[in-house]
Amino acid sequence: MKNFLFNLGLLILIAIVLWAWVMLPWQGVIGLAVVFALWMALTRSGRRAASVASVGISTLRQRIGSSAVIVIGIAGVVGVLVALLAMGEGYAETLRKTGSADTAIVMRGSSAAEVMSVLDHDSVTLIPQAAGIAKDSKGQPIASPELVVAANLPLKGSNPDDEGSVQLRGVGDQAWAVRPNVKVIEGRNFQPGMRELIVGKGAAKQFDGLVPGHTVKLGNQQWTVVGVFSSGDAMDSEVWGDANVVADTYRRGSSRASVTVRLADPTSYNKFKAELEGNPQLKVDVNTTIDYFSKQSEGMTKVIKVVGIAVGLIMAIGAMFGALNTMFAAVAARAREIATLRAIGFRGLPVVVAVMLETMLLALIGGLLGGLLAWLIFNGYSASTLAAGTVGKLSFELRVSPALLWTGLKWALAIGFIGGIFPAIRAARLPVTTALREL
């Protein structure tokens, strides 16, 4: 009964510690480490714990095989977790960067995405007249009516019959004023009125034949690729052409999908939105582009995050039991030594601290190794998917951010904590006489 209550109490304690650990910001962790180091250096029991721990750690080299189980096991968990989360992060980041707080996008009411929206000619001429839009040097409002459609193009590295979908944007001059980050990096810009395309560098990587000078077929028409542009965001996965010519090819007449405007300043957004949405001639939704693109990435990011954490959890359980196994064996091998220490007057605490410290150290090495591997292999690794809200392949780069590495380290230490605490407590609670008699 007493034993049962003790174990129950231990489990509750572990749950509380884990919960607190998840909540703890990095300043807290550093504070904790400092307090712990001070305790070890300055107090009597701390120094005892330190000396016991140093004995255990100095023998680690002899147990390199079984210690490697902890390190590699935890490195695996952290590596996979960080890589999966980096995928979500990279995806969300690419879309987030596409938007900004000082540009707004106007679409027909309750359209979930640009490609579903249709604005007729009257709306397209009305929208730029609203107040709050920035003016260019000639006094014209900076507003870019754009058409968004999909085009089928052959994918790179697969048989010619396999076609993928790319988002094709028909734009005018103002598109460059609205998005100053878009630059032509190779070839030249398309000429208005011609069947010419410029391609994003992400799209050029995904699809076959998107090289300046080549022609591609859209339906039964030949289009010439004349340049490559780079924007560093989701636009990189698009192909741009002259809005009028694209509209002609896709039989869209004078309608457009959206109007993106540069706001005079972010504070004029509310006025702009209220004016457009209050205009009875228009049925439109107005969003800042940062809102619009963040919302697009929401669902997918959540899915990747849930998958990453689920996979990480299952792997963590495996690694945790591996760590338990190793530490139980380590404690059993040193049972006599530990019992001797206790026989000559060491209390239980230094023993617990020593075993825990050893496990956490191995876990830390594992976490660092896993994070480093994930960073080396996956940072900047490009992936692609059919993004929600667009009709083309969106390519993005995995992003292993310091925050993610930190998350990985926290996981590693949590696994080490659980993997160490049970063996530590067993070592401290084993009756001295039994332990001495063993072997």
In the complex, which residues of this chain contact another protein (CB under 8 A)?
65-66, 68-69, 72-73, 76, 79-80, 83-84, 109-113, 115-116, 118, 149-152, 155, 158, 161-165, 168, 218-220, 249-251, 283, 295, 299, 311, 314-315, 317-319, 321-322, 324-326, 328-329, 383-386, 391, 393
Residue 150 Cβ vs another protein, minimum distance, rounded to whole Å = 4
Dist. CA 349–CA 430, nearest whole Å: 13
Side chain identity, residue 267: T
In the complex with another protein, the residue whose CB is nearer, 68 or 372, is 68
Q: Are 134 and 263 in contact (CB under 8 A)?
A: yes
Q: Which of 399, 418, 423, 405 is nearest to 89 (CA)?
A: 399
Q: Which of 247, 120, 223, 241 is nearest to 171 (CA)?
A: 241
Residue 183 β-bridge partners: 230
Output phi, psi for 113, to 5 deg: -150, 165
Residue 171 β-bridge partners: 242
In the complex with another protein, the residue whose CB is nearer, 94 or 174, is 94
Residue 396 Cβ vs another protein, minimum distance, rounded to whole Å = 12
In the complex with another protein, the residue whose CB is nearer, 170 or 350, is 170
Only one residue has tokens 């509310």, namely: 270
- Length in residues, the chain: 439
Residue 352 Cβ vs another protein, minimum distance, rounded to whole Å = 19
Output phi, psi for 225, to 5 deg: -85, 125
Dist. CA 34–CA 176, nearest whole Å: 53
Q: Are 304 and 88 in contact (CB under 8 A)?
A: yes
Terminal-residue alpha carbon distance, the chain? 29
CB-based contacts of 335, cutoff 8 Å, min separation 6: 427, 430, 435, 438, 439
In the complex with another protein, the residue whose CB is nearer, 25 or 219, is 219
Residue 117 Cβ vs another protein, minimum distance, rounded to whole Å = 8
Q: Are 387 and 95 in contact (CB under 8 A)?
A: yes
Tokens of 119: 């604005």
Residue 76 Cβ vs another protein, minimum distance, rounded to whole Å = 4
- Give the largest CA-CA distance in the chain: 95
Tokens of 102: 């000082």
